[in-house]
Structure 1
Amino acid sequence: MEETIINYDSQVKSKKRIADFGEVFTNEREVKAMLDLVKHETERIESRFLEPACGNGNFLSEVLIRKLNVVEFKFSKSQVEWERNAFVAISSIYGVDILEDNSVECRERLLKFFSQIYLKRFGTNGKMEMIRSVKYLLDRNILWGDALDFTNPITKKPIIFSEWNMINGNMVKRRDFVFKFLVEKTHQFTLFNDEGNPAAIDEPIKEFPLIHFLKIY
């Protein structure tokens, strides 16, 4: 089976998709210029980003690049600290797209990019547990959905996002929230405040026991 080659530099997939969904991807130069306007946030490892029309990941991949550059700069001397902070960086990236193939491509793109960086950095010391946990994060954080009505376009089930907080060193606390309530309560596309807690938001619909960040998958 031949591998599908995706051209991430292309701004258009098809004229039909433009007509049906107004889909035109932002090119790299504009992505970098726009993110430079919030440069200090892109360089905070824990700063949360949500792209409500993420496409195949032009913005989110650049955010991840910038965050991992900070991780490398600050934690290059310790593999454990590098892994822990890379987990925090990736857990802070969220995306939604109305087209299923875009959400799949975005997850695969971010996972491939991380895996290449991680394995190049640590070689045979790299852990498959880390890659599996990152894949699980992306499966939970990059979703197929309509950010305007807060549901899956086909099932009409509500979009559910997970909040990930690092507690007691390497342990992670996961709490799930309904996307619609997050937006309605905060009146903006902001998931959680800087302390990692939803401000004036309903209780989570589900909470999970603490677990080591390498075991969440």
Structure 2
Amino acid sequence: MAGQVKSRQRVVDHGEVFTAEREVNAMLDLVKAETERIESRFLEPACGNGNFIAEVLRRKLVVVSSRYRRSPAEYQRYAFVAVSSVYGVDILEDNVEECRDRLFAIVEKDARSAIRGAVEQAFLDAVRYVLGKNILCGDALTLKDADGEPIRFAEWSMVTGDLVKRRDFLLSELLEGNVDKGQTLSLFGEKNNVISWEFDEETQAYLPSAVCEYPPVDYREVGRNG
């Protein structure tokens, strides 16, 4: 169990046991093709300090580096896509902070190795910002964040060139609305006639309408949207 627990008390209080690297890789290898698809999205609902999503991000960046290392601009654009596709929730704030820092360090190290001195500070700032929105402190069972509000995740979609569009969704709505095309939507999909479902071509599934939508901006300036 060495390296799989931080303390006995945390195991007692929160049932916290971290998955070992061997098991992480064995499980991810079951969906190997998806872990190597730059834009495919992963959510870890009890992410701890990020064992699963850190490995997913590493695999994605291997692909980014192999394809785009000769072009700093393209490398940074697709590395942004990779990092914006991983999501995590954990009930403990220290795990969340550690996970964000861990993922940021993975991106920064890979970028400096792949494109060396061409890494833009604006790119790193954008990565840090996205991780702050994608890795959240909350309870995936109650679907509430640390403040007791519904967990809300941002979807980042490259529109054209360096422009990225952000749409925010409630996690509870996403889990209930993700129905394949042609299937029947959940009876609870429309709450008080407020939520409407839309077929999303990218995911090939029905998703609820976004609770907030932002105009496209250069991905290096995503922090402008607050």
Cα pair distance change 1:159/1:50, threshold 3 Å = same
Distance in structure 1 (CA, Å) of the matches to 2:207 and 2:114 = 39
SS in 1 for 2:148: coil
Deviation at 1:118, TM superposition (A): 1.2
Aligned to 2:98: 105
Aligned to 1:32: 25
Aligned to 2:148: 156
Cα pair distance change 1:55/1:135, threshold 3 Å = same
Distance in structure 1 (CA, Å) of the matches to 2:96 and 2:62 = 24
Aligned to 1:120: 113
Equivalent of 1:213, from 203, 216, 219?
219
Q: Does the 8 A contact of 1:165 with 1:196 survive in 2? A: no
Aligned to 2:16: 23
Cα pair distance change 1:199/1:73, threshold 3 Å = same
Stretches (4+) displaced over 6 A: none
Distance in structure 2 (CA, Å) of the matches to 1:21 and 1:172 = 37
1:172 aligns with 2:164: yes
Distance in structure 2 (CA, Å) of the matches to 1:70 and 1:62 = 13
Q: Does the 8 A contact of 1:97 with 1:146 survive in 2? A: yes
Aligned to 2:126: 133
Deviation at 1:175, TM superposition (A): 0.2
Deviation at 1:124, TM superposition (A): 2.5
CA RMSD of the aligned region, Å?
A: 1.8
Deviation at 1:197, TM superposition (A): 5.3
1:33-66 Cα offsets, whole Å, 9 max, x none, are: 1101100000100110000000001001100110
Cα pair distance change 1:113/1:39, threshold 3 Å = same
Query: Which segments of 5 or more consecutive residues in structure 1 lack a partner in the other structure?
Result: 1-8, 188-192
Name whichever structure is richer in strand by fraction.
Answer: 2
2:178 maps to a residue whose letter is: T
Distance in structure 1 (CA, Å) of the matches to 2:102 and 2:153 = 20
Deviation at 1:186, TM superposition (A): 2.2
1:112 maps to a residue whose letter is: A
Q: Does the 8 A contact of 2:49 with 2:98 survive in 1? A: yes
Query: Which segments of 5 or more consecutive residues in structure 2 lack a partner in the other structure?
Result: 180-198
Q: Does the 8 A contact of 2:70 with 2:115 survive in 1? A: no
Deviation at 1:170, TM superposition (A): 1.1
Aligned to 2:192: none
Distance in structure 1 (CA, Å) of the matches to 2:141 and 2:58 = 28
Cα pair distance change 1:91/1:46, threshold 3 Å = same
Aligned to 2:5: 12
1:42-121 equivalence runs, <5 A? 42-121=35-114
Q: Does the 8 A contact of 1:47 with 1:194 survive in 2? A: no
Deviation at 1:194, TM superposition (A): 8.1
Q: Does the 8 A contact of 2:65 with 2:114 survive in 1? A: no
TM-score norm. by structure 1 comes to: 0.89
1:162-199 Cα offsets, whole Å, 9 max, x none, are: 00100111100000001111112227xxxxx9843583
Distance in structure 1 (CA, Å) of the matches to 2:135 and 2:164 = 19
Aligned to 2:205: 199
Q: Does the 8 A contact of 1:91 with 1:141 survive in 2? A: yes
Distance in structure 2 (CA, Å) of the matches to 1:197 and 1:178 = 17
Task: Tell me how many residue pairs correspond in the alignment.
Answer: 204
2:58 maps to a residue whose letter is: I
Deviation at 1:73, TM superposition (A): 1.1
Aligned residues with identical type, % of pairs: 50
